Structure 1
Amino acid sequence: MTIKTAIFGHRGYPARFPENSLVGFSYALDHHIDGLEFDVQLTKDRVPVILHDATLERTSDGTGWLKQYTLAELRRFHLARGEAIPTLVELLELVGQRDVQLNLEFKTNQVRYPGIEKIVLETLRDFSLARPVIFSSFRLASLRACQSLAPDESYCWLADHPVVNAAAFVANQHLSGLHLRHYQHAAVTERIWTVDDPRLACELFAQPVAGIFTDDFMTMRRLRDRVLQVK
């Protein structure tokens, strides 16, 4: 039996819109995307905002470390097309009750942001989402911090290398699964990033892969539908 692999917009819809922008997230939601993946960091005044890099140069017209700016100061800078760097609250308000799976990545592997886990979890408690959020991070300590605060949520470790004895690792770390660069055929929930190559996508759609993260969810969805029709 072929599993219908969930397709996550990696940082929204970067194939058409600035990554991690509200306009990209909005388009994806309006076109019924399965899931949205996004990156959360903290401003100097400890507001959760959505940006991938620890610094501003690559994705915005700002410079320097995100952590050096308050939210008000950060609002002086813009992503491409004049888009603002969004806050977590703004994205959650946009999502509302829509049936979409959110994957929140804690960007704590380069900058630690003490207390970010508690701040994010408390922010989420103010919203009634249609589905529980999947939390992920390259930093296991962040996932452990979340587990101590909210043990019943879904936590997945991000890894860019093979995970030895994956099933035992997931069980021992009390994880829900792994978010991997390459599919391992392990007896655990696997979501694969970042899948933009059509040939690789078709191979994964034919496997029991729980999800893929992609910059172009519209193309991937058409490919998935084609693979499922063949099956």
Structure 2
Amino acid sequence: MTNIFGHRGAAGHYPENTMISFMAAYEAGADGIELDVQMTKDGELVVIHDETIDRTTTGAGYVHTYTYKELSRFDASYTFSQYKGKATVPTLIEVLEWAKQKNIIVNVELKNGIIHYPGLEEKVIHLIEKLNMNKQVIISSFNHYSLVECKKISNNIEIAILYMEGLYQPWEYAKRLGADGIHPHFYAATREIITNSINNDVAIRTFTVNDDKLIQQLLNNQCSAIITDFPEKAVKLRDMLSRKA
């Protein structure tokens, strides 16, 4: 069965990468959530997509120039004014502790392609292991050097390669890096790549899939997972297909 992951929670209807959004994805029946991790000035792991806070919060500037206490004062309701005053930038530990209770899979994307956060891999993995969530968390990144570093630190957590397009035989590339999965943009998730990846025991989870027809196509092609801004819609489409089967 194809799993449904809520992209930054349920970002189509809720402020992305907030507890409100993650809870909504869970309530919609998502099997997992996808989130992004940056690091504050005082070394706190925080869940926010951009290297700056300008787009999604009421503040401005780079994440790494703020302490977590300073960062937590900003509103993170983004364009969803109905949640003003109710959404803040969460810490990774806050999200993981909640996810552990809900038994929902967490895809942690390391956002270290533009800014180098010293020790990010080690900090994230230490937290995952401390919470005994090795089998519940997937670490992904566009920075493949970082993924190799993760594998050196721990061989007990799944890693997955993020990429946009044009990667030749990505399942073979994944094996070379010691990765357990690939997370391509949906343009790069052809039927052939999906089939070959799964046949080679490499999970394939596509992002960010919001179109109904494309969701149905990927479900029919038995993609390992779909990462979407609208998990409630994807879950309904999956349920409809399973009833027809």
* 1:99 correspondence with 2:113: no
What is the count of residue pairs matched by the alignment?
228
The structural deviation recorded for 1:130 is 8.7
Which residue, 209, 230, 233 being the options, matches 1:195?
Answer: 209
Alpha carbons 2:134, 2:156 under 8 Å: kept: no
Match in the other structure for 2:160: 156
**Superposition RMSD in Å:** 1.4
The match for 2:235 is 221
In 2, the alpha carbon distance for the partners of 1:130 and 1:139 equals: 21
Between the two proteins, what is the percent identity of the paired residues?
32
Q: Which amino acid is 2:108 matched to?
A: L
Q: CA deviation at 1:157?
A: 0.5
Aligned-pair CA distance for 1:208: 2.3
Unaligned runs of 5+ in 2: 78-83, 198-202
Q: Which moved more, 1:184-193 or 1:216-225?
A: 184-193
State the match for 1:116 in structure 2.
120
The alignment partner of 2:101 has SS state of coil
Q: Is the 8 A contact 2:5 2:225 kept in 1?
A: yes
1:113-159 per-residue CA deviation (whole Å, 9 max, x = no partner) reads 01100011111222134943111000001101111100232110100
- The structure with the greater share of residues assigned to helix is 2
1:87 matched to 2:91? The reply is: yes
Distance 2:146 2:28 in 1: 32
Name the counterpart of 1:19. Answer: 16
Mapped contact 2:99–2:105 kept (Cα < 8 A): no
The whole-number CA distance in structure 2 between the counterparts of 1:91 and 1:63 is 23
Quick check: 1:172 aligned with 2:176?
yes
| Match in the other structure for 2:144 | 140
Please, which moves more after superposition, 28-37 or 157-166? 28-37
CA positional deviation for 1:93? 2.0
User: Is residue 36 from structure 1 mapped to residue 40 from structure 2 by the alignment?
Assistant: no
Distance 1:208 1:42 in 2: 36
Residue number in structure 1 paired with 2:80: none
**Paired residue type of 2:155:** P
Structure 1: gaps (5+ residues): none
TM-score by length of structure 2 reads: 0.89
Classify 1:26/1:125 alpha carbon distance in 2 versus 1 (closer, same or farther; 3 Å). same
Q: Rate the CA distance shift 1:38–1:139 in 2: closer, same or farther, 3 A.
A: same
In structure 2, distance between residues paired with 1:130 and 1:115: 19
* Aligned pairs for 1:58-77 within 5 A: 58-77=55-74
Q: Deviations over 1:78-129 (max 9, x none)?
A: 1112211000011112223322111100011111101100011111222134
Q: Which moved more, 1:90-99 or 1:60-69?
A: 90-99
The runs of at least 4 consecutive aligned structure 1 residues that moved more than 4 Å come to: none
